[in-house]
Amino acid sequence: MKLSAWAKQKGLTYQTAWNLYKKNQISNAYALSTGTIIVDEDAKKSNKKEHIVVYARVSSSENKKYLDSQIQRVVDFCNAKGWNVHQSVKEVGSGLNDKRQQLLKILEQGKATKLVVEHRDRLTRFGFNFIQLVCDKIDCELVVVNETLDDKKELIDDFTSIITSFCARIYGMRRGSRKKTKIEEVITDESD
């Protein structure tokens, strides 16, 4: 693919991609005789043995029972694509916490060629693009099974996550859950 398309796919400006190419930081990029820069994605993938990791997360131990069904849905997705799952990782921890041991272990090892999650928020509540950047650096494709296409809904979900987190810290989990429900009702009514 052309350097411009590669830059767009990675969420970079063309100038940034050009600078990376000039510094030889895109190992599978080369220039044609016409001057067009090509990034060979297939060459990058062929250097690494396929290792597909399925990741599931829930926020609290109360929801731990949902981990198995979450993993099963993602494994079914992988099977439908013809991918062999090599590792299933389950974790209990807040999506706002950046010190989740299992996720960090996957990223530090750098063995994974695909990291498959059900929803973006199962990976992290915020900072998804940072994790995407880390995955790109270790040649790991980040696959989200159910990608939200509605920006308005995603923004409301993010806002609700922030409020829920702060309410839970201030009022305790049970009371925070009630406040979250009330806030969701108000936001949904006002957005319609």
Q: Which of 111, 89, 88 is nearest to 100 (CA)?
A: 89
Mean of all residue pLDDT scores within the chain: 82
What gap in Å lies between CA 161 and CA 26, rounded to an integer? Answer: 36
Q: Is the pLDDT of residue 47 over 70?
A: no
Residue boundaries of the structural domains of the chain: 3-44, 52-144, 151-191
Whole-angstrom distance, CA of residue 178 vs CA of residue 3? 49
Between 156 and 85, name the one with better pLDDT.
Answer: 85
52-144: CATH number: 3.40.50.1390
116-155, pLDDT tens digit by residue? 999 888 888 777 888 888 898 888 999 999 876 556 766 7
E strand segments, the chain: 29-31, 37-39, 52-58, 85-92, 114-117, 141-144
Give the amino acid at 155: L
Cβ–Cβ under 8 Å, residues 78 and 140: no
Contact 160, 180 (CB under 8 A): yes
Q: Model confidence over 57-92: pLDDT tens digits?
A: 988 888 888 899 999 999 999 999 899 999 999 998
